[in-house]
DNA sequence: TCCCGCTGGAAACGAGTGTTTAAAACATTA
DNA sequence: TAATGTTTTAAACACTCGTTTCCAGCGGGA
C-alpha cells in the first residue's frame, strides 16, 4: 500500500467533494486529481461511480448501525420489558449520530451526505440505503410506537419524518445558515449548540396535539 | 407564436423535469425534445441553462411575492397597529403557498423546486432567490418577531428554519413518503391532508420551551 | 419589390464525462 | 531468482453536455 491506502484516500476526498457539490456535479477526474490518484483507480477499486457513492455512505452507515443496534440493546436491557421514554429514544439516536463521525471526519459531511441522499435523484442510492440499513430504522420506529401509544400509526409515521426533515435540513444546510446567524446575532453556533436547540423543538413536535379530522371530502386533490 | 408559445412550452416541460430529476441531471436535449422544440431555442430565448432555471423559479415566485405582500398588507390593516398572532401568520403563508400553484401547475412541483434550490449546489440560484425575493421573507420574519416577543432573536431564527426544513423536506420528498405511507397504512394522503397534519406540529415547535443555557464550554467543536 | 428584424431548425464545435484497455511497476509467494 | 497476482499508469474510447453557427422561413414597413 502507498503512503495512505489509495482506497481510503479516494473515499476521504470523495466524501467532502460530494458533500459540498453533489454527486453529479463532482467528476471522477476532480476526485482522483485532488486525491493524487490515477483516474482509473476508482473504476479499479470500486467498479463504478455509483459503487463509489455507496461506499462513501457505507463508511458512515456501517459503524452507525452497529453502534445504534448496540445502544438499543442496552436500552432494552435497562428498561427490561418496560417502555423506553420517547426522550430517551431520541436522545440515544442523537448521541449515536454524533458519535459516529467523531472518529471519522466531520459531522457536517455526514449530514450533508444524508441530505443529498434524500434530495438528489440517485434512485440507486435510496434503494441501497433502504435495503442495507432499513432494518435499524424499523427497529427504532417500533420502539417509538411503544413510547407513543396514543399516536395513531400514520400520525407517528409522518411526525417522525417531520422531525427527520428538520434535523437533516438544518444540519445539512448548516454552513449557509450559520453564516447568516453569525452576521445577524454575533453568536457562534456549534453543532452541539444546534442539537441543544433542536431537542425541545423535536420533543414538542412529537407531542403536539392531534390535528382535527379531515374535512368531508369537498374536492379531489 | 406556435400552437402554444415556445417559451411557455419550454418552461412547462423544464419545471417538471427539473423537479423530478434535479438540474444537473436534466439536459437541455431532454427538455427540448420532450417539449418538441428545437435544441437552440433554450439558448435563444433564455440565454443559458442557468437563466432557464431562474426563469422557472420566477414563474412561481413572482406571483407568490405579490400575493404574499398583499396578504400581509390586509393582515396589517386588519390588526391595525396590534400584533398579528403567530398562528395567523403561519396560516397566511401556508394559504399563499397553496394558492400560487393552483392557477399554474402542481404544488408538488413547486415544493420540489424549493427543495432543490436548497440542496443542490447551484450557488447562482440561492443568490438569485436571496436577491430577488429576500425582502418578502424579511418582512414576514419581522412580523413573526412581534408575534413571539418572548423568543430570543437567535432562537426564533433557528426555529423558523427548523419548521422551514420540516415543510420543504416533507413536501419535496412527498412522493416517496406517500408510497410508503399508503403501503403501510392504506390511506391516501393529499397535500392538503399533509398541511392539516403539519399545522399543530409547526405551532408546537415554535412554542416549544426554551432550551437550557449552553454548557460552560468544555471542548471546542 | 426589396429589405429588415425575429423566430425556428439542422448541424457542428469544443469541452468534459464515465469507462475500458493494455502495458508497466510493484509485491508476494514458490 | 523466477513466476505470480495485484496495483498503478497513460492513453484512448465512446458518449453527452451546453453553446454557437449559419441558413431558411416569416412578418410587416419603405
- What pLDDT does B1 receive? 43
The mean pLDDT value of chain A amounts to 89
CATH number of A1-47: 1.10.10.60
The nucleotide closest to A47 (CA, C1' atoms)? C19
The pLDDT of A194-201, averaged and rounded, is 92
- Chain A neighbors of B154, CB-CB under 8 A: 181, 185, 187
pLDDT (0 to 100) of residue B216: 61
Q: Which of residues 76-95 of B touch A (CB under 8 A)?
A: none
In chain A, positions 13-52 with C-beta closer than 7 Å to nucleic chain D are 37-41, 44-45
Q: Strand D closer than 7 Å to the CB of B49?
A: yes
DSSP state of B190: -
Rounded average pLDDT per 10-residue block, chain B, 221 residues: 77 94 94 95 95 95 95 96 93 90 75 84 82 93 95 94 92 81 82 89 96 66 37
Helices (H), chain A: 6-21, 28-34, 40-45, 49-78, 86-103, 107-119, 123-147, 153-172, 174-185, 191-206
Cα atoms found within 13 Å of the Cα of residue A217, Cβ hemisphere only: 6
Q: Which nucleotide is nearest to B39 (CA to C1')?
A: C9
Q: What is the grid cell recorded at B43? A: 439558448
Q: Is the distance from CB of A204 to CB of B208 less than 8 angstroms?
A: yes
Answer for the pair B162, A170: CB distance below 8 angstroms, yes or no. Answer: yes
Q: Is A204 helix (H, G, I), strand (E, B) or coil?
A: helix
> What integer pLDDT is reported at residue B182 of this predicted model?
82
Structure confidence at residue A187 (pLDDT): 79
Per DSSP, helices labelled H in B22-151 are: 28-34, 40-45, 49-78, 86-103, 107-119, 123-147
Instruction: Assess contact for B113 and B15: CB atoms under 8 A.
Output: yes
Domains of chain B by residue range:
1-47, 54-207
Phi-psi region of B47 (alpha: psi -120 to 50; beta: other; left: phi over 0): left
- Which pLDDT value is given to residue B119? 77
Q: How far is B115 from chain A (nearest CA, A)?
A: 7
Q: For A140-150, what is each residue's pLDDT tens digit?
A: 999 999 999 99
Bigger pLDDT: A9 or A190? A9
pLDDT score for A102: 67
Question: Do A205 and B166 count as a contact with CB atoms less than 8 A apart?
Answer: yes
- A121: enclosing H helix or E strand: none
Of B153, B164, B209, the CB nearest to A200: B209
Beta carbons of A167 and A110 less than 8 angstroms apart: no
Count of residues in chain B: 221
H or E segment and range at residue A194: helix A191-206
Residues 10-29 of B with CB under 8 A from A: 20-22, 24-25
Grid cell listed for B20: 423530478
Interchain CB contact of A197 with B (< 8 Å): yes
pLDDT tens string A61-96: 999 999 999 999 999 999 998 999 999 999 999 999
| Residue B178: other Cβ atoms inside 10 A | 17
- pLDDT at A161 > cutoff 90: yes
Q: How far is residue A42's CA from residue A6's CA, in Å, rounded to a whole number?
A: 9
Residue A2's pLDDT is what? Answer: 42
* Top mean-pLDDT range of A22-26, A30-34, A181-185: A30-34
With CB atoms and an 8 Å threshold, state whether A209 touches B211.
no
Scanning every residue of chain B, which has its alpha carbon at the shortest distance from the alpha carbon of A210?
Answer: B200
What is the least distance, in Å, from the CA of B64 to any CA of chain A?
Answer: 21
Grid coordinates representing A211 are: 390535528
DSSP 8-state class, residue B104: S
Q: Which residues of chain B make contact with A216, given a CB cutoff of 8 A?
A: none
Asked if B154's CB is within 8 angstroms of A22's CB, the reply is no
Helices and strands (H and E) in chain A: how many: 10, 0
CB-CB contact of A113 with A18 (8 Å) = yes
Q: For C16, which residue's CA is nearest its C1'?
A: A27
Chain B CB within 8 Å of residue A181 CB = yes
* Contact of A94 with B95, CB cutoff 8 Å: no
How many residues in chain A? Answer: 221
pLDDT of residue A101: 75
Neighboring chain B residues of A162 at a CB cutoff of 8 Å:
166, 170, 198, 201
DSSP B82: S
Domain range B54-207, CATH architecture: Orthogonal Bundle (1.10)
Residue with cell 379531489: A220
B166 at A interface, C-beta within 8 A: yes
Other C-beta atoms closer than 10 Å to the C-beta of A161 total 17
Q: Kindly state the DSSP code that residue B186 receives in the 8-state scheme.
A: -
Angstrom distance (rounded) from CA A85 to CA A74? 14
Amino acid at each position: 500500500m502507498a503512503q495512505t491506502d489509495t482506497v481510503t484516500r479516494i473515499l476521504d476526498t470523495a466524501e467532502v467533494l460530494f458533500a459540498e457539490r453533489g454527486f453529479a456535479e463532482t467528476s471522477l477526474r476532480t476526485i482522483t486529481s485532488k486525491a493524487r490518484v490515477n483516474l482509473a483507480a476508482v473504476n479499479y477499486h470500486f467498479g463504478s461511480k455509483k459503487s463509489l457513492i455507496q461506499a462513501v455512505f457505507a463508511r458512515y452507515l456501517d459503524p452507525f448501525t452497529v453502534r445504534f443496534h448496540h445502544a438499543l440493546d442496552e436500552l432494552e436491557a435497562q428498561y427490561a420489558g418496560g417502555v423506553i421514554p420517547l426522550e430517551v429514544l431520541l436522545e440515544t439516536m442523537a448521541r449515536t449520530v454524533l458519535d459516529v463521525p467523531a472518529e471519522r471526519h466531520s459531522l457536517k459531511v455526514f449530514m450533508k451526505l444524508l441530505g443529498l441522499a434524500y434530495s438528489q435523484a440517485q434512485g440507486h442510492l435510496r434503494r441501497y440505503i433502504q435495503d442495507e440499513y432499513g432494518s435499524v430504522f424499523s427497529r427504532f420506529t417500533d420502539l417509538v410506537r411503544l413510547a407513543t401509544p396514543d399516536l395513531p400509526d400514520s400520525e407517528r409515521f409522518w411526525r417522525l419524518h417531520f422531525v427527520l426533515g428538520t434535523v437533516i435540513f438544518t444540519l445539512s444546510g448548516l454552513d449557509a445558515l450559520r453564516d447568516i446567524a453569525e452576521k445577524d446575532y454575533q453568536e457562534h453556533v456549534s453543532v452541539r449548540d444546534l442539537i441543544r436547540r433542536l431537542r425541545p423543538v423535536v420533543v414538542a413536535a412529537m407531542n403536539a396535539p392531534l390535528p382535527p379530522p379531515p374535512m368531508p371530502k369537498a374536492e379531489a386533490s
